[in-house]
Amino acid sequence: MVVVREAVESDIPAITAIYRYHVLHGVASFEIDPPDAAEMSRRHAGVIAAGLPYLVAEHEGRVIGYAYASPYRARPAYRNSVENSVYVDADHHGLGAGKALIRDLIERCRAAGRRQMIAIIGDSDNEASIGLHAAFGFRDVGTLTDVGFKHDRWLDSVIMQLALSES
C-alpha cells in the first residue's frame, strides 16, 4: 500500500536520490547535473514558503516518490496557476505511487484555491507521464519541439493543463 504525506526535512536524502537517478538517466528533467541534498532542501523550503504542497509517497516505510506544486511563473498575474512535478523511484514503478501523488497534489491545490495546474513534461516520448496526466483530466495544450538537448538527443516539452476551478 502507498501512503502519501507531506514531505519533511528528513525525506530530503530519499528525494535527492530519486531525482538524481532521473536527472542522470531520464529526460523528465532537463537538468544535466543532479543537485545535492542542500539544494533539494532549499527547493523544498521554497515550495513550502510559497504555501504550496510538497508530498512524498511511502511504501513499506520507504519514500518511493515525491511530488510538489510550484509557482507556474514569477509574475503576479500568474499567482493562481501552479506547475506540478512528480517523480517515482525507478525500482518502484507500478505500485500506484504516481497516481496517489498526483491525486493528492490536485486535491490540495484545489483546496488552496488555485485555478490552473500546468504540467511541463520532458519529451513527447514520455508516454507514462503523458498518460498519467491525461488520466487525471489534463489536456494537451501544446508541444515545444527540440527545446532541450540531453543524452545526445533533442527533446520536446509537452505542455498539459488542468483547470482546478471554474472561478
Q: How many residues does the chain have?
A: 167
Please report the pLDDT score of residue 167 as a whole number.
Answer: 64
- Can you give the pLDDT at residue 135? 98
**2-163, superfamily in CATH?**
Gcn5-related N-acetyltransferase (GNAT) (3.40.630.30)
Per-residue pLDDT, 29: 95
- Note the pLDDT of residue 166: 79
Instruction: For residue 67, give every residue at least 6 positions away whose Cβ sits within 8 Å of its Cβ, in sequence order, or none.
Output: 53, 54, 55, 57, 84, 85, 86, 87, 101, 102, 104, 105
- Long-range pairs, 46-51, Cβ under 8 A, ≥24: 46/70, 51/112
Domain chopping of the chain, boundaries? 2-163
Helix or strand run (H / E) with residue 22: helix 12-25
Q: DSSP character for 9? A: G
* Residue 74: strand, helix, or coil: coil
The pLDDT of residue 150 is 97
**pLDDT mean for each 10 residues of the chain (167 residues):** 97 98 96 98 97 98 98 96 98 96 98 97 95 98 97 97 89
pTM given for the model: 0.96
Amino acid 18: pLDDT: 98
